[in-house]
Structure formats: C-alpha cells, structure tokens
Structure 1
Amino acid sequence: MKRNIVIASVTAAALLSGTAVAVAGTQSSSTGAPTTHTTNASGTTARASFSDAAHAALKAVPGTLDSLDRDHGARTTWDAEILGKDGKWHEVTLDGSTAKVLNQHIDRDTDAEDAAEAKALRNADISATEAARKAASSGTVTSVEFDGDRTPVWEVETVKNHKERDLNVNAQSGKVTQAPSDDGDDD
C-alpha cells in the first residue's frame, strides 16, 4: 500500500512538472531485501542501494565483504573493504548513484590485527549482505562493518525518517540488537 502511494505521488509530481520519471521495485538476489531505483528523464539512477553496491563490489573483487559504507563527501560514494579469495585485503570505491567501480586497489598496509580479522570473518555464519537484510526493517542501510574483536558482530547503521540507528547483528546467530551508545547516553 505504501509503495503504491509513493508511486502515485512520484507520478503526480512528474505529470505536474513535465518530467519523465520511472520507479521500479525489485527484489535483490544478493540480500533478499527490496530495492527501489528512481530513474530521472536522462535515464540515470538517483541512488545505488546497499545491495547494489555490495553486488558490484563483490563482482569486481570476489571474496568476502568486510565493510561497506556510504560516504557523503563532495561526491557520494560507497567504500568497500573485501577479503579477496586471493587472501588479500582489497579496497573498492563505487559511485553512489550507479554502483559503478571508480577505484580499486590492494591494501598493502596490513598487520596481525588484519590477520585476526580475516580469520574471524571467515568463521562468520552471517554475511554482510545477510546482516544488512536483517537490519533493513529498521531503515535504509548506510553502513555495515564486521567487528571480530570479542563476540563477532556486524555493526549496521540505518537511517529512517532522518534519524540514524546503530544496530549489531550477531555474526553467528543473526540476532539483531541495539548497539550500545558510544557516548554513554541512553537516548
């Protein structure tokens, strides 16, 4: 119902402004989470979803996604860290609108902490995309990062109604919990 209202609203706005707009809802095969793509008159996608960016990053560098974060700098991008099938850490930057790979390189500045992270990541039962799907009911996923220090969890940031929410998804069970506050304030 909500989706139909959104489509009707976008269509009405397009008719009033004379701008051609198309909206398509799809089910992402990589996360199972629904994704919505808004296309403007020039045919360009307005914003790539988490699942779009995750799929593109893993296509560029096959392996295990360690983190994926939307960066709202001068140009919106998705920044991914991947433990490649080659055992090396890769950094991939994707366009925030199209999920097209802008840059990728091997991180040569690795240490013992990275080796421990790789081992914990390989032992995780829940992937980054599964963690994002589990947290998606709390809003739009803007960041997922693996933390294998103590109990392995995926730290997931979501945004809903302009309010950010930090969640933890247990990397073994998939249980979603509210992340502890960084500032000690329980709001």
Structure 2
Amino acid sequence: MKRNIVIASVAAAALLTGGTAVAVAGTQSSSTGAPTTHAADAAGTTAGESFSDAAHASGTTARASFSDAAHAALKAVPGTLDSLDLDHGARTTWDAEILGKDGKWHEVTLDASNAKVLNQHIDRDTDAEDAAEAKALRNADVSATEAARKAASSGTVTSVEFDGDRTPVWEVETVKNHKERDLNVNAQSGKVTQAPSDDDGDDD
C-alpha cells in the first residue's frame, strides 16, 4: 500500500542550486530477494532552473537535493528506498521511508539544508498491506533514484513514492518554473507518463 508520508506541495521546489545532482544511492533486489544498494547518476534539476527560482517559490533556504537526501538516507539505513518527500513543517525536512535489509520499515528524517539525519526509527505499526508493499518493492526493476532521474527532465524532483497497489509505479512530483507536475514512472519498464488528474476521481 502507499505509505503514510506527507506529500510535498508546490512549495517543495526549493531543492537544488542548479546543474545536475551528485551520484545517489539507489536500490535493487538481489537474487535472494534481499534489497541491496547501488549508485546511480540522477539529474536533479533542469536547464534554466536555479536555486533562486526554487527558493522564491518556496520561501525557504532548503539546499539539499533529492539526490543528497537519498544518498544520506540510504547510508543511514541500507535497504530499498520506498519514498522520499520534501516536507515543509516547523522545519523543512526530507522524510524518507526505507525497507531495510533487516526486512523492517524504517523512517528517516533529514535536514533539508544539508541532508543531515535528524531522526530515524523503525515503524512497528505494520500490517498485511505493508508486507504486500514490501514484496512489490523488492520486485521493482526501477529504483526510486532511477525514477527520479527519468522524471528530472520535467523539472526539479520534490517527491518520489512507490505505489504497488495495482500496476507498480513510482509517483513523482516535479516543479519547473514554479509549476508542479505529477508523473508516474513504471516500476518495471521505467516508462514515464503523466499522472491522472485528481479531478478525474470522486469529489471525496
């Protein structure tokens, strides 16, 4: 199922100082089914989009990119990244959820200014849906960081979250020229498509 992580809004544009992001830690399943980490290059911004643009849109001084936060989160808890979202609360943070190599769900909070780990703990409130999510996540051919790289041409990545309920996809939010765009990246093929509009659903 989709994990209960706060999804970043348009204000989550404050990510990068411009240019391409550094190499990030991604994940894939080993032959035994246990998640392992690997490195992948991910573009975290697009040409013409600067940190000043992002800062203006969000009103924050967040400087740690998706790439920075993913690398730091997976260094703190080796495993498979399930979601990573920029959260604007009392303190702007990156909130990560990771399926650890120990088979447990871990939540990691990182400072959005420097990707420093502020807090991490094991989520013990899990159920059968979480087990199904873990299985689908382990079987995904495309990692969170790879999904971010594929979607980066559409703007600055502010959120990536795995959805294994039906056809497994990565739900990616990007911001470009102060406009938010929601994309789906197929977790098997890596194909990027426009996410269905919320207006297509019911009023509730």
For this structure pair, what is the TM-score category when the shorter chain's length is used for normalisation? 0.7 to 0.9
Q: Is the 8 A contact 2:25 2:71 kept in 1?
A: no
Equivalent-residue separation in structure 2 for 1:104 and 1:8 (angstroms): 19
For 1:22, the equivalent position in structure 2 comes to 23
Tell me, yes or no, if the aligned pair for 1:94 and 1:100 is still in contact at 8 Å.
Answer: yes
Identity, % of aligned pairs? Answer: 95
- Secondary structure at the residue paired with 2:115? coil
Bigger radius of gyration, 1 or 2?
A: 1
Higher mean displacement: 39-48 or 147-156: 39-48
Query: What is the CA-CA distance between 1:32 and the residue it aligns to?
Result: 25
Please tell me whether the aligned partners of residues 26 and 145 of structure 2 are also in contact (alpha carbons under 8 angstroms).
no
Partner of 2:132: 116
4+ residue runs over 2 A deviation: 1-46, 182-187
TM-score between the two structures when normalised by the length of structure 1: 0.74
| Alpha-carbon distance in structure 1 between the residues aligned to 2:8 and 2:194 | 34
The TM-score normalised by the length of structure 2 is: 0.68
Q: 1:186 to 1:140 in 2, by over 3 A?
A: farther
Structure 1: segments with no counterpart, 5+ residues: none
Q: Do the aligned partners of residues 71 and 8 (structure 1) sit closer, same or farther apart at CA in structure 2, a change above 3 Å counting?
A: closer
Residue number among 61, 83, 87 corresponding to 1:67 in the alignment: 83
Q: In 2, distance between residues paired with 1:2 and 1:83?
A: 13
Q: CA deviation at 1:87?
A: 0.1
Distance 1:19 1:45, change over 3 A: farther
Q: Distance in 2 between matches of 1:110 and 1:5?
A: 14
Tell me, yes or no, if the aligned pair for 1:23 and 1:36 is still in contact at 8 Å. Answer: no
Once the 2 structures are TM-superposed, how far is the Cα of residue 129 of structure 1 from its aligned partner? 0.1
Shift of 1:75: 1.2
Q: Greater shift after overlay, 85-94 or 16-25?
A: 16-25
- Higher relative contact order (Cα pairs below 8 Å, separated by 6+ residues): 2
Q: How many Å separate the matches in 2 of 1:90 and 1:4?
A: 13
Give the drift of 1:73.
1.5
DSSP-derived class of the 1:40 partner: helix
Distance 1:112 1:2 in 2: 13
RMSD: 11.1
Q: CA deviation at 1:72?
A: 1.3
Contact 2:168/2:186 (<8 A) preserved = yes
Deviation track 1:55-101 (CA, whole Å, cap 9, x = no partner) reads 00000000000000000112110000000000000000000010000
